[in-house]
Structure 1
Amino acid sequence: MILMDMRDKLLIVIITFILFIESVIVFRSQVSLLWFIIILFVYLEIIKELVIKGSYKKLYKGIENDYRKYEMALEASKGSVWEWDDKSKKLYISNRINKVLNIKKEINSFQQICQYIDIPERKRFIEFYYNLYKNKDLNEFTIEHSITTVDGHKVILSSQGRGFIKENVYYLSGIITDITDKKAKESEINFMSYHDIVTGMPNRRYFINEMNNVIENKKINHGKIAIIFIDLDNFKNINDSYGHDIGDILLIKFCNILCNVFNKDSFISRFGGDEFVVAQYGIKKEEDIEKKLENLFEALKSNIQIEEREIYCTVSIGVSIYKKDGKDIETLLKRADIAMYRAKSDGKNKYQFCNEYILESVNKEYKIQKALRTAIENNEIYLVYQPKFNLRNERVYGYECLARWNSNVLGDISPLEFIPVAENSGVIIELEKYIIDIAFRKCKELSLMTDKIFKMSINLSNIQIRDEKIVNYIRNKLKEYDLNPSYIEFEIKESVIINSSKRNLEILRKLKILGVSIALDDFGTGYSSLSYLRILPIDVLNIDKSFIDAIKKDKKSNYIIESIIELSHNLELRVVAEGVETEAQIEYLKEIGCDIIQGFYYNKPEKFDVASKMLLIE
């Protein structure tokens, strides 16, 4: 059977009607007018019926398509359509809600919905819809509530809708959506916003919000609040040596130690990197905090076990007290941070309470830092030169270049004050480049005055050694002054050994390739191992003044000096004794084979014109 659509049926009727008209025209004498009108009316009714049926069919199909789309949209949104009116008092709700509640029976009243809503929220739910009904509210509304399904699962629903009046009957209508997953994601995002990802501890934002709340609402029941700023010493080296995964595990284990030590009336947070802050409540006196801190240091004496590694961990700590050191959390944090950095600069692995002396010191450092930025531009910094002598013939071996600063604002500033400030502020990079430029220029001048061979020693900070650009800078300056690199010696601190990353060693090797010498300064004052002398590309080893001062006073120091000189010579290194001040020291150093001496016994540092004469008149 061939199925015909409405258009085909209509076409057949029209063709049949046209044929009838033609037959009437041909046989008009045989067809009465009445029959013609009757047949015409019948055909018009058929056409009308067909058109109406076609329109309804098209309309039905459109409605059916819209309904399917509507169902798909509801399914995608996990929504259930509902409607209630105050005439029938019945609730219509689509079947989707049955899937959410895991029930089969039909829901047709608010009372049935209420039994699934969690008891703490039930009263709020009833009052909300009762007020809408009571006030005949026509505004859009949204309410969220949690329910417990018959199988015990917690689900969060959001009901959005509005009220309207139709034929004097008040209606409430809307859609209920399952937002459990959305709320879980929001909760996760909120947690991540206020907690550290690695340790799960409260982060800086959470800590500051909590402290502001405590201080503003005066939630201090008794005693004082101590803000304890904790920094893991040398954490970067642990990351560099063992990798960030081990570093993260160390942070987690350290958090566990903190939680064990500060286990009551405290708020512990990780501020980021290697910094932690603890708020300790209920403090009666500073001794209460000192006891806690001593417990922390005691706990850290045992190495932290991570996989097959045992990692020794120390901390530097600064403490500020609420009201005594500040009345808001920003000030308290700043001052605890200042105290922590003082503990770190005093040798690490210790704690420091904030006090007026530290604050005055920081204020002075700030003034130095501010003035230092313009000192280079104004040529306020100049060099003095302390001679070094060959101990075998007592002739000038060379000079150490030492920076001095006569500030236009602050007057004479000791290098013991401005060098650390320059290092902490980052100005040291430009300062040392400035010093290198002056030293190279003076070295060239002196080399043109004499045929004698000498060394011009220049100090390089650990910060400068980490800057790969320094190699190109030195290379360019050697070319600029047409200076033989054999005249130049760079002194690096022993602490560079602790930070002897591959990059640092590579930079030192590149300097050696340029033809300059490298000396290891202040040897014996740090944490270095003699085995590192094999790795570092050095030519000279400088014995620190503290050992020289102990000559003839401390047998252990004598043995150390003798061992250093013997080992250095075996490694083909020259040895410099720093801070020589007595003839007895000189005689002893000659006896044990020291190569070079430097100290006030011969000369203090002098300006170039004076210091250079010592070499020229020999």
Structure 2
Amino acid sequence: MSTSAPTVLIVDDEAKSRDRLACLLAPGGYETTSAASGEEALSSVASEAPDLILIAQTMPGIDGCQVASILKADPATENIPIIMVTGVEDTGMRQAGLEAGAEEFLSKPVDPTELGLRVRNLLRLKDMGDLEDQVLVLEQKIAARTADLLRFRTAMNATPDALMLVSRDTMRFVEVNDTTCAMLGYTRAEMLSLGPVALGAATHDELEAMFEPTPGGRIKPRLSEVTLHCKDGGVVDVEIHRQALLSGNDWIIVSVVRDITERRVAQQILQYQASHDVLTGLPNRAWFYEALHGTVRATHSASPSVAVVFLDLDRFKNVNDTLGHAMGDELLVQFSARLATCVGERDTVARLGGDEFGLILMLDQDPAHAATVAGRIAEVLYPPFNLRGFEVIVTASVGITVHPQDGADPEVLIKYADTAMYEAKQAGRDTYRFFTAQMNADALQRQDLEHALRKAVENEEFELYYQPKLLLGADTIVGVEALLRWDRPGHGLVSPGLFVPVLEETGLIVRVGRWVIDTACRQIKAWSLHATGAVQVSVNIAGRQFAEGDLEGDVLRALAAHDVPAALLELELTETSLMINTERTMQCLSNLRAHGIQVSVDDFGTGYSSLAYLRRFPIDKLKIDIAFIRDVTTNADDAAIVNAIITMAHSLNVQVVAEGVETPAQKAFLLAHGCDQIQGYLVSRPLPAHLVTSLMALHAAKVPVSAAA
């Protein structure tokens, strides 16, 4: 027996188990070393062989049986006794361990006495060269070697990943599993005649450099993604995890190869979904912004180089409200297909959200090309869209800005394109506008106006003026129209034509409209208590008050709060607001009219409806737009239109009010053709409530209205 202390190599992937076994062996005077894996154990044995090995049977990677098989197959290590430690009492596992070459088995938790006895006996047999034991070991080794190839292949084939063992010296495969053959289409014999280079994994020089041993005599594990070539000419994307094992004077490269085709496809799908609009398949806002940044960088020195175009479908909300969102989605899909035909191969089309789209146009020294594209967009929109049997005509408002003339920063270009698009809408829609410095100034001014309006709502800066309505024939004031006015601090009175559209676009009109209704009802009550007596007040209602507010509730609450008869309140709506969400609008108006509230259509004749269509709505009055009244005494066409409106309205039992009456001749014409009421400067301009009270008092005293005005 050797005079030096026997060395025992403890192999287990659990640190606690290694430490416990070392503690149990310490009293016996053994020197212990440890390894946390089968790979590390093989490396340790290759560096310095121990006298005995205690190894866990099951471990990640190369397990105890595989380590035993490798060691017993090598003449240099075949005589090292191996005690296999297992946590499971399983006959099959013990048989596998014995076939792998283990001399003894211990079950966890390891009994200290049994451990010392087995270690001592195995070392004694080893040192004494017991012939019988040697014969047994030899028989086990022969049996193990006989079954080695079958066991190894069975183990390799048990994994769904492809396993490839490569000799670094020859750069050829020394073993592959069935998964490898199935993945690449080769037979095992064909694979063993090839190497990684033939599969396109890397060049010979690259592989040699990749697996060059370090000064410490180790080869670092590698993880890489490559494309392998199959026998039939196809390719497969794989992830390869390579580790190296020293076998004699050669390194065996163990490659675990996993097919990542499905992962790549999933990644591509996720990337596509993250950068594209699900509905239309076009690039989305994020992709558009990224593409614009890249395009501007790439063409920074060109002049001009790029046009950024924003476009928005006009009145798209009407389609959603009248035909439903499914039809709206179908319209967007069809429009996207048409839009794509308007640009070149180098250009970009994206859906930015809702009904808003963006284009990046490559300009060949000609900014006018952007106008040409805008013209094409108008042309492709001209034919009606067929939405499941419904024909819909759509137009678009287009805003254009040019790099680098308008700006070099992508964010600035986007802002300018949006500003130009808004200008196109303000110009009447169905057109395009290029960005100018004035547009930017207007945008800043609008932003300031919107901010001031929000403060005005909070601070109650609004006031109602009232314009009287005159009953023709009797020359008596039969009502007034409430008109919103705003005395902006530091600016004075602001034209309603400037601030009312902003209230409507921002949605503030819902809140302001509620205030108007309540204030009008309060004024009705005040006049009813005055000597002049009650007078009917009409208030203007915006379409958003139907779609987003609680118009019916607002009206009924105001009437009740101020104890006002419903007949003294009249609601005025434009034709356009009537067409928005018609079913909901019709139901709301019907409910209010059932309470006695009257309904009037304002600016009739300028919209796209007809009397026959309006017949569906509960309407009491029509107001002829000032555009027809202005020249009614001098223009035969206007006179004919006014006469036709009066005649048709009366046939439907609807009263007619002419607005914008300024001359006695206009009044005489309207009286002669049976118009019911007039409103305009001939009667009175809009006045604060106290002046209207005075006007009505004068009228009650038989002072001519025109003189009082």
Task: Name the TM-score class by shorter chain.
Answer: 0.7 to 0.9
Name whichever of 587-596 and 169-178 sits farther off: 169-178
1:96 to 170, 179, 191: 179
1:82 to 164, 167, 182: 164
1:445 to 519, 526, 529: 526
1:277 Cα shift? 1.0
* 2:505 is aligned with 1:421: no
Q: Tell me, in whole angstroms, the C-alpha distance in 2 between the residues paired with 1:291 and 1:303.
A: 21
Q: Tell me, in whole angstroms, the C-alpha distance in 2 between the residues paired with 1:78 and 1:616.
A: 98
1:105 to 188, 192, 195: 188
Opposite residue 424 of structure 2, the aligned amino acid is A
Q: Tell me, in whole angstroms, the C-alpha distance in 2 between the residues paired with 1:171 and 1:74.
A: 15
SS of the residue aligned with 2:238? Answer: strand
| CA 448–553 in structure 1, closer or farther in 2 if over 3 Å, else same | same
Q: Does structure 2 conserve the Cα–Cα contact (< 8 Å) formed by 1:509 and 1:537?
A: yes
Q: Tell me, in whole angstroms, the C-alpha distance in 1 between the residues paired with 2:195 and 2:249.
A: 26
* 2:552 is aligned with 1:471: yes
Q: Tell me, in whole angstroms, the C-alpha distance in 2 between the residues paired with 1:243 and 1:472.
A: 25
* 2:358 is aligned with 1:277: yes
What is the correspondence of 1:256-335 to structure 2 with a 5 Å cutoff? Answer: 256-305=337-386, 308-335=389-416
Name whichever of 478-487 and 460-469 sits farther off: 460-469
Name whichever of 321-330 and 140-149 sits farther off: 140-149
| CA 102–168 in structure 1, closer or farther in 2 if over 3 Å, else same | closer
Q: Give 1:593's aligned residue.
A: 674
SS of the residue aligned with 1:527? Answer: coil
1:406 Cα shift? 1.3
Q: Give 1:561's aligned residue.
A: 642
| CA 172–75 in structure 1, closer or farther in 2 if over 3 Å, else same | closer
Q: Tell me, in whole angstroms, the C-alpha distance in 2 between the residues paired with 1:75 and 1:334.
A: 61
SS of the residue aligned with 1:376? Answer: helix
Opposite residue 187 of structure 2, the aligned amino acid is K
Q: Tell me, in whole angstroms, the C-alpha distance in 2 between the residues paired with 1:242 and 1:442.
A: 40
1:481 to 562, 565, 569: 562
1:237 Cα shift? 2.5
What is the correspondence of 1:217-236 to structure 2 with a 5 Å cutoff? Answer: 217-218=298-299, 223-236=304-317
Opposite residue 213 of structure 1, the aligned amino acid is G
| CA 504–151 in structure 1, closer or farther in 2 if over 3 Å, else same | farther
1:133 to 211, 218, 240: 211
Opposite residue 587 of structure 1, the aligned amino acid is A
1:253 to 334, 337, 351: 334
What is the correspondence of 1:234-245 to structure 2 with a 5 Å cutoff? Answer: 234-245=315-326
Deviations 1:333-353 (A, max 9, x none): 111111112211322111111
Opposite residue 185 of structure 2, the aligned amino acid is N
What is the correspondence of 1:37-76 to structure 2 with a 5 Å cutoff? Answer: 57=91, 59-60=93-94
Q: Tell me, in whole angstroms, the C-alpha distance in 2 between the residues paired with 1:231 and 1:519.
A: 32
1:398 Cα shift? 0.9
1:294 Cα shift? 2.0
Opposite residue 351 of structure 1, the aligned amino acid is Y
TM-score, length-scaled by structure 2: 0.73
* 2:429 is aligned with 1:348: yes
Q: Does structure 1 conserve the Cα–Cα contact (< 8 Å) formed by 2:547 and 2:581?
A: no
Q: Give 1:23's aligned residue.
A: none
Q: Tell me, in whole angstroms, the C-alpha distance in 2 between the residues paired with 1:530 and 1:509.
A: 18
Q: Give 2:461's aligned residue.
A: 380
1:63 Cα shift? 6.2
Q: Tell me, in whole angstroms, the C-alpha distance in 2 between the residues paired with 1:513 and 1:140.
A: 84
Name whichever of 460-469 and 81-90 sits farther off: 81-90
Q: Tell me, in whole angstroms, the C-alpha distance in 2 between the residues paired with 1:444 and 1:368.
A: 33
| CA 56–455 in structure 1, closer or farther in 2 if over 3 Å, else same | closer
How many residue pairs get matched? Answer: 559
SS of the residue aligned with 2:404? Answer: coil
| CA 326–97 in structure 1, closer or farther in 2 if over 3 Å, else same | same
1:540 Cα shift? 1.2
Q: Does structure 2 conserve the Cα–Cα contact (< 8 Å) formed by 1:343 and 1:351?
A: yes
Q: Tell me, in whole angstroms, the C-alpha distance in 2 between the residues paired with 1:538 and 1:127.
A: 89
1:135 Cα shift? 4.6
Q: Does structure 2 conserve the Cα–Cα contact (< 8 Å) formed by 1:92 and 1:107?
A: no
* 2:444 is aligned with 1:363: yes
Opposite residue 79 of structure 1, the aligned amino acid is D
| CA 230–503 in structure 1, closer or farther in 2 if over 3 Å, else same | same
* Structure 2: unaligned runs, 5 residues or longer: 1-87, 101-151, 701-709
| CA 176–388 in structure 1, closer or farther in 2 if over 3 Å, else same | same
SS of the residue aligned with 1:577? Answer: strand
1:431 to 496, 509, 512: 512
1:417 Cα shift? 1.1
* 2:483 is aligned with 1:402: yes
* Structure 1: unaligned runs, 5 residues or longer: 1-53
CA RMSD of aligned residues (A): 3.1
1:377 Cα shift? 3.2
Q: Give 1:460's aligned residue.
A: 541
- Identity among equivalent positions (%) equals 28
Q: Does structure 2 conserve the Cα–Cα contact (< 8 Å) formed by 1:468 and 1:507?
A: no
Q: Give 1:40's aligned residue.
A: none
2:601 to 514, 520, 528: 520
SS of the residue aligned with 1:332? Answer: helix
Name whichever of 150-159 and 479-488 sits farther off: 150-159
SS of the residue aligned with 2:446? Answer: helix
1:409 Cα shift? 4.1
1:316 Cα shift? 0.7
Name whichever of 72-81 and 543-552 sits farther off: 72-81
1:300 Cα shift? 2.4
Q: Does structure 1 conserve the Cα–Cα contact (< 8 Å) formed by 2:228 and 2:237?
A: yes
Q: Does structure 2 conserve the Cα–Cα contact (< 8 Å) formed by 1:520 and 1:541?
A: yes
1:62 Cα shift? 7.1
Q: Tell me, in whole angstroms, the C-alpha distance in 2 between the residues paired with 1:263 and 1:76.
A: 55
* 2:231 is aligned with 1:150: yes
* 2:489 is aligned with 1:411: no
TM-score, length-scaled by structure 1: 0.83
Q: Does structure 2 conserve the Cα–Cα contact (< 8 Å) formed by 1:214 and 1:220?
A: no
Opposite residue 682 of structure 2, the aligned amino acid is Y
| CA 570–74 in structure 1, closer or farther in 2 if over 3 Å, else same | farther
